[in-house]
Amino acid sequence: MTAEPVSPPWSASASSLATPLSIIHQVSGAEHLGRLYGFVKTSTPPAWSGPPPEEIAAWNLIQVGRLIGRRFHREFTALGVTPTQFGVLLQLQLHPDRSNNEIARSVLVTPQSMSEPLESLESLGLIERDPPVGGWHRVAIRLTDAGRHRLHPCSAAVGRAEDSLGLTDHADRNSTNYCSRSRTPKRKSCPLAGCPEHFTGRLWLIETLLRGNED
């Protein structure tokens, strides 16, 4: 008696493969419908493993900065200046001998970005600049009498904005210390490394928080 040859499993015909493939398709379709209608629960990897947002100091500072920025924008707009223009005028009042680059670092913008606020302040007659002489000579920038008059009511505007926010001396000191620590970069490659600490108290807090709300 001769034994019938047994076909290897890999030599199955296309018709014999149709059944398992159709079953796979049916299972896949059922699983898809189950996921669609909530019958099959799938595990989703967590998207956030950090602390709650209310415990993130930098995030809270951003949120507070937006609120403070709106208040100060409203006050400064009534006086005809932007926060950056206010910072430039204040720097020229406190440090008349500062260069363009030093003023840029003080108001937290790049030196290349200083042309717009300086040109606008000059067109308003609030500052005056000596004509450039070429080379690497420093161009003198001075605050005009009109600039001093425009800067003077900013002190009252700062006070009104702070009063509306309910800032106290204790809270102000804590916020100022945090801003000062955050502003001092730990990486030497940062363009703001070595930036002078020129603002103290409320004015320093204001300038730091307004950078995210400019224009």
Residues 85-89 have a mean pLDDT of: 92
Report yes or no: 84 and 208 within 8 Å, Cβ to Cβ: no
**Banded model confidence at residue 148, pLDDT cuts 50, 70, 90:** very high
- The dihedral region occupied by 19, where left means phi > 0, alpha psi between -120 and 50, and beta the remainder, is alpha
Q: What is the CA radius of gyration of the chain?
A: 32
Per-residue pLDDT at 123 exceeds 80: yes
Dihedral angle over CA of 56, 107, 118, 115, nearest 10: -70
Which residue from 113, 118, 66 is spatially nearest to 91, judged by alpha carbons?
A: 118
**Banded model confidence at residue 119, pLDDT cuts 50, 70, 90:** very high
pTM of the model: 0.57
The neighbouring-strand residues paired with 141 are 129
Return the minimum-mean-pLDDT range out of 13-27, 58-72, 106-120.
Answer: 13-27
* Residue 133, helix vs strand vs coil: coil
Residues 83-102 have a mean pLDDT of: 89
- pLDDT, residue 187, reads 44
Q: Report residue 176 as tokens.
A: 């100022």
**Banded model confidence at residue 11, pLDDT cuts 50, 70, 90:** low
Spacing of C-alpha 7 from chain mean position: 70
Distance CA 108, CA 111 (A): 9
- pLDDT, residue 49, reads 84
Domains defined along the chain, listed by start: 56-131+138-213 (1.10.10.10)
Q: Report residue 31 as tokens.
A: 């699983």
Report yes or no: 97 and 152 within 8 Å, Cβ to Cβ: no
Per-residue pLDDT at 117 exceeds 80: yes
Q: Report residue 10 as tokens.
A: 């890999």
